Structure formats: structure tokens, C-alpha cells
Amino acid sequence: MKSKILLSLVIGLLMVTSVLAVDIIYVDMDVNGGIVDITTNGIDHSTLHPNQVGETNTFSGAGDFMGNYHVNEGSYGALGSYINVNSDVNGADFIMTDTQNFNVLSGNHNNNVIGYFYAHSSGNDNQVAMNLKSIGSMYVWSEATDPYWVTPLQGNLIQKEVWTTKNGNLNTDLYLSVSTNGIATMSNSDIWGWTNGETGTSSTNYGGGIRTVSATGNGNYYQSGFGVNSLTFNGFNFGAGSATLGATFNGGMTGTYSMGSS
């Protein structure tokens, strides 16, 4: 019954936000075998792109979990979105997405770039976690660990991806995933993480620092990068092109990664 009551609340919030701009959305969740889907749009209230959507953030959760989803509205349709959820004993599945229309967000720049972000953590026990914030601004968007001392992504399966399109064509794409019968974790030494820029750039290392991925048990690791103009991939510098790294592991794994493209 808790999940049914909560789902009705979320639907009500969606109906309100689809018509009116709001300053803050705060949803507490205590779900037992249920599903929650939330979509939040940031609306430009300026005279530059009136009533256009600058940024859209979504959260989807399924299974047994507790946590909250919190959104602030910024300038030119930007959003500050925060998700902190943890699974209960029967496990859960969490997805956050974010879309950034930089023509709207930047105010008066017209690079025709749209940025995208996808984060996913899932598992069948009480060790699934997602603690992320997504911060849109005029010229650059970034995700980060929120708060900085907790685990950003954890589960039997974790995935993260950023990509951009320019004039409707794919410009950049960075992706990493780990699946294991143990527990996989992604973490940042710096609070900030993966990012998109208004000219069509993407990076896993916004703000510097070291990006670490680790896992216990047996499983698979996969990493890929693509850039129309340039690509950096785990210390290698390429011109236009793509790169991939895949591995099967037994007895756990740990390492660092760094990717950027334009």
C-alpha cells in the first residue's frame, strides 16, 4: 500500500510541473515491491526562450527501496536534481537520466548541442545505491556524488553514459559498465564526475581527480568512447574515432579510468 500511495503522489507532482514552473520538488520514497517514475522539466522564464525546456531530469525506481528525490530550478531552464536511494533486502533497480538543451540553457549561444546522461544501478539485495546530483548551468552540465562521502553507484550492475548531439548528429559518447555476481562500485576522488559542454564536448573527469571502478566476485567490465573530432581514452590521445575495452574477471577487479571527447 505504501508504494501505491507514493505513486499517486508522484503522478500529482508530474501534472503540476507539466503546467507550472516550480522552485522545489521534494519526494520521499518508501517503496515495497513498487515502481516510481518521475520526470521534471526546467522551463526558461526569460525573454530569450520563453516557456522552452532547458533541461529534463528523470528518475525511475523499482523494487524495494527508500530515499528521496529533490529538484531546484535555476536560470534559463536549468535544474539542480538530487537522488539518494538505497535498496532493501529484496533489491532494486534505479535509473537517472538528464537531457540538456544548451541553446536554451546558455541564453543566447546557438551551437545546436543537446547533452544526455544515463546512470543505472541494480541488484537483488540490500546493497544497491544511487547517490547523485545533476547540475545544469549555462555552458556546462555535470553530475556529482551527493553528498561527497557516500557511494555514487553500487550494485550487481552499474552503468554510466554521457553523449552529445550537434545539429542532430552524434558528436560524443562515453560509456562504462560493470556486471558481477558480487558488488560493483563507481567512485570519484573529486565530487564532480561526468560532464557535457555546450560546444559538444564530454568528459568523465570534470573538476579533475581520479575515477575508480571496482567489483567483487566474477563478472564483466566494458568501457567505450567516441568523438567526432578527438578522443582521450585511459591515457591515450586519438583524433576522431572510437575505442573500446572489455574484460571478463574472476575474483574481483579494480582500476581507474579517464575519458574525454569532442
Per-residue pLDDT tens digits for 151-199: 999 999 999 999 999 999 999 999 999 999 999 999 988 889 999 999 9
Question: What cell numbers appear for 143 in the block?
Answer: 553530475
Q: Which residues of the chain have pLDDT under 70?
A: 1-23
Give the C-alpha separation, 143 to 41, whole Å: 17
Give the C-alpha separation, 115 to 102, whole Å: 8
- Percent of the chain with pLDDT strictly greater than 70: 91
Q: What is the number of structural domains in the chain?
A: 1
- Cβ atoms within 10 Å of 169's Cβ, excluding its own: 10
Q: What is the largest CA-CA distance in the chain?
A: 57
Q: What is the pLDDT of residue 15?
A: 30
Q: What is the pLDDT of residue 67?
A: 97
Q: What is the pLDDT of residues 190-213, one digit of tens each?
A: 889 999 999 999 999 998 899 999
Q: Show the domain range for 76.
A: 2-261
Give the C-alpha separation, 14 to 21, whole Å: 11
Amino acid identity of residue 184, one-letter, is A
Q: What is the pLDDT of residue 87?
A: 98
Q: State the first-to-last Cα distance of the chain, in angstroms, to the nearest integer.
A: 48
